[in-house]
Amino acid sequence: MAPAVVQRIQEGMLNYAPPVVEVIVAGIDEGGPHLWTVLGGVTQYNNMAGYACIGGGWRHAASQMMNAPHSPENSVTEVAALVHLAKTRAEVAPGVGTQTDMLTIGPNLGDHWIVDFPTLSAFEKTSKAVIRAEAKALKRMAPQFLGHVSAKRGKSQQAPDNGPIPTPGPV
C-alpha cells in the first residue's frame, strides 16, 4: 500500500472520535427506586426529578415531563402514558424514530410490566390526538393573542400577519 494512504488511515484512526454513549440506568432495591443517566461518561443521579431523558429529542421529552407535571404519586399506567406522550413530542427532533418499546419496573421488588403492542398503539393514538388538539387550540386562540398585541401597540404598530401559525408535522 502506498505510504500516503497508510498515513491517511493512521491519522483517521488516531483522530477518530467515537460516538457519545447515552444510557438510562434504572433499578429498584430495598431502598426504593433509583434512576441514573450516563452521558458521555458523566453520571447523574435523577431521583429528585423522577425521570430521565436522553437522545436527540431529550429537551422535548423533558419539557413534557416538567409541564405534565410528573409526580411519584402517579400510577404506573399514568406514568407510562405520560412517558409515551413525551417520547412522541421528542419525535420532532432530527433522528428520533417513531418506534417505541416500553418496560416498567416496580413499584415493588420483582415487579415489571412489558408494555404490550395494543397498549402502545393506544398510547400512540392518544398522544397524537393530544398534540392535534393543542395545535387546533393554538390556531383558534391566535386572534386573541393578536388582539392583545394590537391593543397594546396601536393600529399603526400592529405585529405583521405572516400567515397561519405552523402546526406540528403529520400526526
For residues 130 and 86, what is the distance between their CA atoms, to the nearest angstrom?
A: 11
| SS3 of residue 94 by DSSP | coil
What pTM does this model have? 0.72
Statement: residue 158 has pLDDT above 60: no
Which tens digits make up the pLDDT trace of 91-106?
Answer: 999 999 999 999 988 8
The CA radius of gyration of the chain, in Å to the nearest whole number, is 23
Q: How far is CA 113 from CA 100, 104, 145, 158, in A?
A: 15, 5, 44, 54
**Could you say which architecture CATH assigns to the domain 20-158+165-171?**
4-Layer Sandwich (3.60)
Distance CA 43, CA 55 (A): 15
Query: What's residue 38's pLDDT?
Result: 94
The sign one gets for the Cα dihedral 28, 31, 32, 35 is negative
Nearest-angstrom CA–CA distance, 88 and 169: 12
| Structure confidence by residue, pLDDT tens digits, 7-65 | 999 988 888 887 788 999 999 898 888 999 998 889 999 998 889 999 999 999 999 99
C-alpha cell, 14: 488516531
DSSP 39-77: ETTEEEE-TTTT----STTHHHHHHHHHHTT--TTS-HH
User: Residue 140 is inside which H or E element, if any?
Assistant: helix 117-153
Residue 171: the pLDDT is 47
103 forms beta bridges with: 114
- Specify which residues 36 forms β-bridges with: 25, 45
**Cell 422535548 -> residue:** 60
Distance CA 55, CA 47 (A): 19
